[in-house]
Amino acid sequence: MRERKQAQRGWLIAVSVTVVIGLILLLALSGGNLALLKKIFTEELRNEEMRSQLKEFGWRGWILIGALSTIQVVCTFLPAEPVQVLAGFTFGFPVGLFLCMIGVLLGNTIIFMVHKTFADRLKSFFVKKINLDTDTIARSSKATFIVFVLYFLPAIPYGMICFLAAGMGMSYRRFICVTGLGALPSVCIGVALGYMTIVSDWIVTVLVFAALILLVSILYCFKKRLIEKLNRYAQKHRKAADGRVREVNAFVMAVLYYSVRAYLFFLGIRIQAVKKIKKIEYPAIVLCNHGSFIDFIYAAALIRKDKPHFVGARLYFYNKFLNRLLRTVGAFPKSMFAPDLENARNCFTVLRNHELLVMMPEARLSTTGRFEDIQENTFSFIQKAGANVYTIKISGDYLADPKWGKGFRRGSVVECELDSLFTADEISRMPYEELKKGIIKRLNYNEFDWLDSRPEIRYRSKRMAEGLENILTTCPICEGAHTLKTEKDSIYCEKCGLLTKIDDRYAFDAGFRFENLTQWYDWQKARLEKEILENEDYALSSSVELRLPGNGKGLTRFGGLGVCTLNREGLTYKGTKDNEEVELHFALKRVYRLLFGAGENFEIYNGAEILYFVPEEKRSAVDWYMASMILNDRTD
């Protein structure tokens, strides 16, 4: 479907460009100009006579030069030099340069707009052509300089450089300045060559032209090596720009914190924060449970003045604005459930600097408002860190804004409690299993048990049940998969009709098979576990859209189409990746847990790169999460 829409857009743009070019040529050649053009090609004319004839094109000639300059930028296969030489020969250097630059800037602008539609496909095409590591360049502090240098390399059309620059997440103002200034020197040379045929001796013109040809030939011979150096230069500066832990900007953190607190206040969310200790002794690690997307705000209510460094999912650092904001407040990225040396280095840096490191060791949002598990290497890190360990226990955060829900619930109460757990000295003498048991015991939570102890809380939302079909996959009556739909506070099955409603305390109707969503989820997970254990050849498979790290503006971008399969061997993707046929395989131990967005996707990190899969049936995303968990925990 996506490829069909892209093809339709492509035909529409092609027809539009053809019509525009035709209208421009019709305008330029009207008013007797066609007869003048015939005369130029059919009669033997001296330079002065030819220039005089070309000038008779009048204002239509100005439009023609500007339009041709625009077209040669947009149609990257067209050379720019003939148009520039013609402009200099016909109108002289100042006017010719002005007309060509107007056309170049207009062409650059068109490319910037076209990039919004065909960004990913065009980018992958041009990367193949010139072997540039554009993802690294986009994250480099020297991206502008590198784009400027590309204009001085031979056989790289202006339009191709513009497409690459547009894919680096630049603002339009910065984009047009960089690409305009980059094109200016070569446009000057092209127009000057045309002008020299009039004002200079032909011998001088030939010598200058020969010198330029020699220079271009030398650069062309070394082009591949120069591009490799640009890639290494970008890689070097990417590490310097993105790899380090930044000092916490207390002012920005305060603005962010109070802005979100004000928003929550107007939504009717009450936050109750309690400190059970007087102060935090550094270096220190704070562990938080993770029921809500904004748990960092709840944690900040207790530790904001301690200038904490939060560990966040790398996905959110792909966006240029979010990356800058998060790093400004001292946060740094982690590739969840994947080896990440950069993250480990940053964690130890924070502790060596006697600062505060904040982790949410479950590493994903809770699916049903209960404690998820913690990966073993997290406990190992804490044991080796040599830091005091504290915890922030957050309650009510999931019920205020569940992973699957559509917005916050009014009337919510969120409780946060900061307390000490272990000192660094205690950890140094503590067996691994005792450390692990202590952390799990402190962080363990069940939102529905917590809610039972607070009968006064009532949640208000016009969309109380909406989104539940993205974590509840099976009808308990007909046992149909992905037949559920929700509307306001009601849950329906496409085959069985209305099943139940959810009240202001997340309870289902009296007499329904399940009391709440946790019992329903556990039932369907048990069914899936039984299926997996009884079937040695169990496999979960789906057609998917692959999305890759964004280009600076978005979190992700289109990367390809293919098929994902999960079985006892692990996760396999067969399909396209940036227009290349690939087969990617991750062993089951490497998969551990497939992260998922409710009703959106499932994902896995491969180093610093995310592989973000959008299944054909988006409601099945939770199936991939449950299956990965069961396969890891129940099979050898």
- Reference 617, options 595, 597, 600, 596; nearest CA is 600
Helix axes 341-352, 376-385, angle to 10 degrees: 30
Radius of gyration of the chain (CA): 31
Indicate whether 35 belongs to any domain.
yes
| Boundary of a domain, candidates 223, 241, 259 | 241
Q: Which residues pair with 420 in a beta bridge?
A: 390
- Regarding whether 54 and 98 lie in a shared domain, the answer is yes
- Regarding whether 413 and 295 lie in a shared domain, the answer is yes
Pure H helices in 43-92:
47-55, 59-74, 81-91
Confidence check: pLDDT of 607 > 50: yes
- Regarding whether 425 and 406 lie in a shared domain, the answer is yes
In order of 11, 73, 96, the CA distances from 102 in angstroms are 27, 11, 10
The separation between CA 436 and the C-alpha centre of its own chain, rounded to angstroms, equals: 34
- Regarding whether 223 and 360 lie in a shared domain, the answer is no
- Reference 424, options 460, 386, 390; nearest CA is 386
pLDDT tier for residue 551 given thresholds of 50, 70 and 90: confident
CATH code at 539? 2.30.29.30
- Regarding whether 221 and 315 lie in a shared domain, the answer is no
pLDDT at 203 (0 to 100): 56
Q: Strand 332-334 relative to strand 413-422: parallel, antiparallel, unpaired?
A: unpaired
The separation between CA 632 and the C-alpha centre of its own chain, rounded to angstroms, equals: 28
- Regarding whether 274 and 207 lie in a shared domain, the answer is no
Q: pTM for this structure?
A: 0.70
Cα gap 636→634, rounded to integer Å = 7
pLDDT at 240 (0 to 100): 43
State which amino acid sits at residue 191. V
Q: Which residues pair with 581 in a beta bridge?
A: 576
- Regarding whether 139 and 282 lie in a shared domain, the answer is no
- Regarding whether 387 and 480 lie in a shared domain, the answer is no
pLDDT at 475 (0 to 100): 96
In total, how many domains does the chain have? Answer: 4
- Regarding whether 350 and 410 lie in a shared domain, the answer is yes
79-85 long-range contacts (CB < 8 A, ≥24 apart) are: 79/157, 80/157, 80/158, 80/186, 80/187, 80/190, 81/190, 81/193, 83/190, 84/187, 84/189, 84/190, 84/191, 84/193, 84/194, 85/190, 85/191, 85/193, 85/194, 85/197
Indicate whether 530 belongs to any domain.
no
- Regarding whether 392 and 311 lie in a shared domain, the answer is yes
- Reference 316, options 306, 307, 326, 328; nearest CA is 326
- Reference 439, options 390, 384, 395; nearest CA is 390
Helix axes 172-199, 143-150, angle to 10 degrees: 30
In order of 155, 220, 564, the CA distances from 80 in angstroms are 11, 17, 45
Indicate whether 40 belongs to any domain.
yes
Task: Judge whether 496 and 478 are in contact, CB under 8 Å.
Answer: yes
| Boundary of a domain, candidates 241, 267, 291 | 241
Number of other CB atoms surrounding residue 189 within 10 Å = 15
pLDDT at 155 (0 to 100): 58
Indicate whether 495 belongs to any domain.
yes
Confidence check: pLDDT of 79 > 70: no
Helices and strands (DSSP H and E) totals, the chain: 24, 17
Task: Tell me which DSSP letter residue 515 carries.
Answer: S
Helix (H, G, I), strand (E, B) or coil at 184: helix
The separation between CA 364 and the C-alpha centre of its own chain, rounded to angstroms, equals: 18
Indicate whether 457 belongs to any domain.
no
- The pLDDT tens digits for 193-210 are 766 765 555 555 555 555
- Regarding whether 550 and 489 lie in a shared domain, the answer is no
Buried residues in 500-512 as b, exposed as e (16+ CB within 10 A): bebbeebbbeeeb
pLDDT at 96 (0 to 100): 78
- φ/ψ (deg, to 5) at 169: 75, 20
Q: How many residues does the chain have?
A: 636
pLDDT at 422 (0 to 100): 97
3-class SS letters over 331-388: CEEECCCCCCHHHHHHHHHHHHCCCEEEECCCCCCCCCCECCCCCHHHHHHHHHHCCE
pLDDT tier for residue 40 given thresholds of 50, 70 and 90: very low
- Reference 520, options 457, 464, 469; nearest CA is 469
- The pLDDT tens digits for 434-454 are 999 999 999 999 999 999 999
pLDDT at 369 (0 to 100): 96
3-class SS letters over 277-343: CCCCCCCEEEEECCCCCCHHHHHHHHHHHHCCEEEEEHHHHCCHHHHHHHHHCCCEEECCCCCCHHH
Confidence check: pLDDT of 51 > 80: no
Rounded mean pLDDT, 455-483: 96
Enclosing domain of residue 232: 2-241
State which amino acid sits at residue 168. M
| Boundary of a domain, candidates 241, 273, 293 | 241
Rounded mean pLDDT, 23-47: 54
- Regarding whether 284 and 201 lie in a shared domain, the answer is no
Average pLDDT, the chain: 83
